[in-house]
Chain A
Amino acid sequence: MPHRSLKPDAPVGDRVVTTTCYMCACRCGIRVHLKDGRVRYIDGNPAHPVNRGAICAKGAAGPRQHDSPARLRKPLLRTGPRGAGEFREIEWSEALALAAKWLGDIRKRNPDELAFFTGRDQSQALTGWWAQQFGTVNYAAHGGFCSVNMAAAGMYTLGGSFWEFGEPDWEHTKYLLLWGVAEDHDSNPIKLGLGKLKARGAKIVAINPVRTGYAAIADEWVPIRPGTDGLLIGALLHELLRHDRIDLDYLVRYTNAHWLVIRAPGSADDGLFARDAEGHPLCAARDASLSPDAVGEEGGAREPVASALRWRLERADAVGIAPVIVGEYALPDGRTAVPAFQLLAQRFLAPEYAPQAVAERCGVPAATIRRLAQELAKVAFEQAISLPQHWTDAWGREHADMLGRPVAMHAMRGIGAHANGFHTCRMLHLLQMLLGAIDTPGSFRYQPPYPKAVPPANRPGRARRDDGALDANPLGYVHAPADLLVDADGRPRRIDKAFSWEHPLAAHGMLQTVIRNAWAGDPYRIDTLFLFMANMGWNSAMNTAETRRMLADRDPATGRYRIPHIIYVDAYGSETVDYADLVLPDTTYLERHDGMSLLDRPISDADGAADAIRVPVVAPDRDVRPFQDVLLELGARLRLPGMADADGAPVYRDYADYLQRHQRAPGVGLLAGWRGADGTAHGVGAPNPRQLEAYAAHDCHWRLPVPAAGRYYKMANRDYLEWARALGFVGSAAPIVLELYSETLQRFRLSAQGHGAVRPPARQRARVERYFDPLPFWYDDIEADGSSAERGGERGHAEWPPSALGAPSPARGGRDEKAYPLHAISQRPMFMYHAWGSHNVWLRQIAARNCLYLHPATAAEHGVADGDWVWLVSPQARIRVQARLHAGTAPGVLWTWNAIGKGKGAWRLAADAPESRDGFLLNHLIGELLPPRDGARYANADPVTGQAAWYDLRVRLERDAAPEVPGHRIERATGSAA
Chain B
Amino acid sequence: MRSDGSQSAPLSLKIAAACGLLFLHLPILLIFVYAFTTEEKSFVWPPPGLTTQWFAVTWNRPDVWQALSLSVRVAAISTAIALVLGTLCSAAVSRTKFFGRETISLLVILPIALPGIITGIALRSAFSLADIPFSFWTIVLGHATFCVVVVYNNAVARFRRTSGSMIEASMDLGADGFQTFRHVVLPNIATALLAGGMLAFALSFDEVIVTTFTAGQQQTLPIWMLEELIRPRQRPVTNVVAMVVVLVTLLPILAAYYLTRGGDQIAGSGK
Q: Do the two chains bind?
A: no
